[in-house]
Amino acid sequence: MGLIVQKYGGSSVADAEGIKRVANRIVAAKRDGNQVVVVVSAMGDTTDELIDLAEQITPIPQGRELDMLLTAGERISMALLAMAINNLGHEASSFTGSQAGVITTSAHGRARIIDVTPGRIKEALDSGAIAIVAGFQGISQDTKDVTTLGRGGSDTTAVALAAALDADVCEIYTDVDGVFSADPRVVPSAKKLKTVTYDEMLELAASGAKVLHLRCVEYARRYNLPIHVRSSFSNNEGTWVVKDHPEGGAMEQAIISGIAHDKSEAKITIVGVPDRTGVAARIFQAIADADINIDMIVQNVSAAATGLTDISFTLPKAEGAEATSILQKLQGEVGFASIQYDDQIGKLSLVGAGMRSHPGVTATFFGALSDAGINIEMISTSEIRISVICRAADLERGAKAAHTAFELDADQNEAVVYGGSGR
Ligand code: ASP
Ligand code: MG
């Protein structure tokens, strides 16, 4: 008998039919002799709709109240799912994140899990019940307020619970058959990956692939917990996220495992920055103090005549307004000329462990972009990733061109998108 943690995303439980279908799958896992813990997201686009609603009330909702509002989405789906399972003659109880022992920091909208104390979940399992847990939420250790882990955070709830319960596997159910070589909504010829390593998945998630939440992969890697990403709409074997590609697979292992694209970032350029020691530190300290995450940075060579340079960096669009206002306050002290804000950028990233041992990846990538007439504005790399910034309007074309250039296109269409609005 094993312990399985399953997570169902919003598109898998979008309506009553979906909830009943998922309930049947859960009961089947239980009948197979497993103890089952289920983490569930809010139904369909509920979270987006609640955000829209809040924005109709106020342009800047208070973090505490927004979290209180958004966590209601998961409470709806968890209760309905427990009812559907009860209806099938099995015992199930639902728990909020707080009841499930998900203890977090107090940063509303982006809380981090500090600890998981799943006493009540263990009790439910010991009594023979299926435990249903609301995803993406917890309770702050300090303030005791309800918090959320950031968009897509239910994956992280599932893996954190799986680690705390020492589960055998964490199954992430979604509306596609696994992790693909690119987002099938953008690159229809994308291939399903049999395996992807934690390191590759971390880079893909950090580069905008939405299939798994970044923190969830960090957690899984830390606890060496296998994740099986699969569809709740089919019985196909999905993608295994594991430490290493299986032995022997390395020979056929493609150089590039996946391509991610991201339209959620904006670029800020600080024009005419005095090229003096300590200036960049001052600027980025102020940004860091506001807990704003920056991604790529480029500093130009300063013009000899003026001793002035430009610094550009990218950051989540959602944090653009705050960063801009922080910088404006620094303008007098640092003495730069102006700030430019550009939210029409896209980021395209290639990820693959095979990159380490294959030269020429950058040349092939840039060649494909150039053939497609796409201009590169910024570049950043890691050992197993190359990312570029281009115009947002060119992004999807760039993803297709790179996918073809690295011979990733599937022979026949493998990528079925079963549900979801991709919102
Ligand atoms: N319902 C939340 C969201 O849409 C959390 C999740 O789906 O994982 O972001
Ligand atoms: Mg969702």
Per-residue pLDDT of 391-419, as tens digits, reads 999 999 999 999 999 999 998 777 777 76
Average pLDDT, the chain: 94
For residue 176, is pLDDT > 80?
A: yes
Tell me: do 161 and 258 sit in the same domain. no
Q: Which atom of ligand 1 is nearest to the CA of 74?
A: 1
* Beta bridge partners of residue 103, listed in sequence order: 115, 139
**158 C-alpha to ligand 1 centroid (Å):** 12
Tell me what percent of the residues of the chain surpass a pLDDT of 70.
Answer: 97
Check if the beta carbon of residue 256 is closer than 8 Å to that of residue 351.
yes
**197 C-alpha to ligand 1 centroid (Å):** 24
Q: Which ligand is nearest to the CA of 213?
A: 1
Q: Which ligand is nearest to the CA of 47?
A: 1
**45 C-alpha to ligand 1 centroid (Å):** 9
Output the domain CATH number for residue 28: 3.40.1160.10
Q: Which atom of ligand 1 is nearest to the CA of 157?
A: 8
Tell me what pLDDT residue 22 has: 97
Tell me: do 42 and 133 sit in the same domain. yes
Per-residue pLDDT of 43-58, as tens digits, reads 999 999 999 999 999 9
Q: Which atom of ligand 1 is nearest to the CA of 48?
A: 4
Query: CA–CA separation, 218 vs 135, rounded Å?
Result: 17
**139 C-alpha to ligand 2 centroid (Å):** 19
**145 C-alpha to ligand 2 centroid (Å):** 22
Tell me: do 157 and 255 sit in the same domain. no
Q: Is residue 193 part of a domain?
A: no
The structural domain count of the chain equals 2
Query: CA–CA separation, 284 vs 29, rounded Å?
Result: 49
Q: If pLDDT is split at 50, 70 and 90, which confidence band does 187 have?
A: very high
- Looking at 126, 157, 174, the residue that finishes a domain is 174
Q: Is residue 240 part of a domain?
A: no
Tell me: do 63 and 149 sit in the same domain. yes
Q: Which atom of ligand 1 is nearest to the CA of 10?
A: 7
- Looking at 174, 192, 226, the residue that finishes a domain is 174
Tokens describing residue 339: 């700030």
Tell me: do 169 and 257 sit in the same domain. no
**331 C-alpha to ligand 1 centroid (Å):** 38
Domain that holds residue 48: 3-174
Closest CA to 209 of 222, 228, 196: 196
Q: How far is CA 263 from the centre of its chain?
A: 13
Residue to substitute in 136, 149, 175 for testing ligand 1 pocket (most ligand atoms within 8 angstroms of CB):
136
Query: CA–CA separation, 233 vs 21, rounded Å?
Result: 9
Q: Which atom of ligand 1 is nearest to the CA of 136?
A: 5
| Three-state DSSP class for residue 331 | helix
Q: Which ligand is nearest to the CA of 77?
A: 1
- Looking at 144, 174, 204, the residue that finishes a domain is 174
Tell me: do 149 and 295 sit in the same domain. no
**245 C-alpha to ligand 1 centroid (Å):** 29
Span 232-239, mean pLDDT? 93
Q: Whose CA is nearest to atom 8 of ligand 1?
A: 152
Q: Which ligand is nearest to the CA of 73?
A: 1
> Which residues does 158 contact at the CB level (< 8 Å), separation at least 6?
5, 6, 7, 39, 135, 170, 172, 216
Tell me what pLDDT residue 420 has: 60
Q: If pLDDT is split at 50, 70 and 90, which confidence band does 211 have?
A: confident
Query: CA–CA separation, 87 vs 153, rounded Å?
Result: 28
Q: Is residue 234 part of a domain?
A: no
Q: Is residue 266 part of a domain?
A: yes
* H helix or E strand, kind and range, residue 269: strand 265-274
Ligand 1: which residues within 6 Å by Cβ? 9-10, 41-42, 47, 73, 135-136, 151-154
Q: Which ligand is nearest to the CA of 48?
A: 1
Tell me: do 271 and 357 sit in the same domain. yes
Residue with tokens 């495992």: 257
Per-residue pLDDT of 116-153, as tens digits, reads 999 999 999 999 999 999 999 999 999 999 999 999 99
**43 C-alpha to ligand 2 centroid (Å):** 7
Tell me: do 143 and 264 sit in the same domain. no
| Three-state DSSP class for residue 211 | coil
- 137-140 sheet: strands from edge to edge: 113-116, 102-104, 137-140, 146-148
> Which residues does 200 contact at the CB level (< 8 Å), separation at least 6?
257, 258, 351, 352, 353, 384
Output the domain CATH number for residue 396: 3.30.2130.10
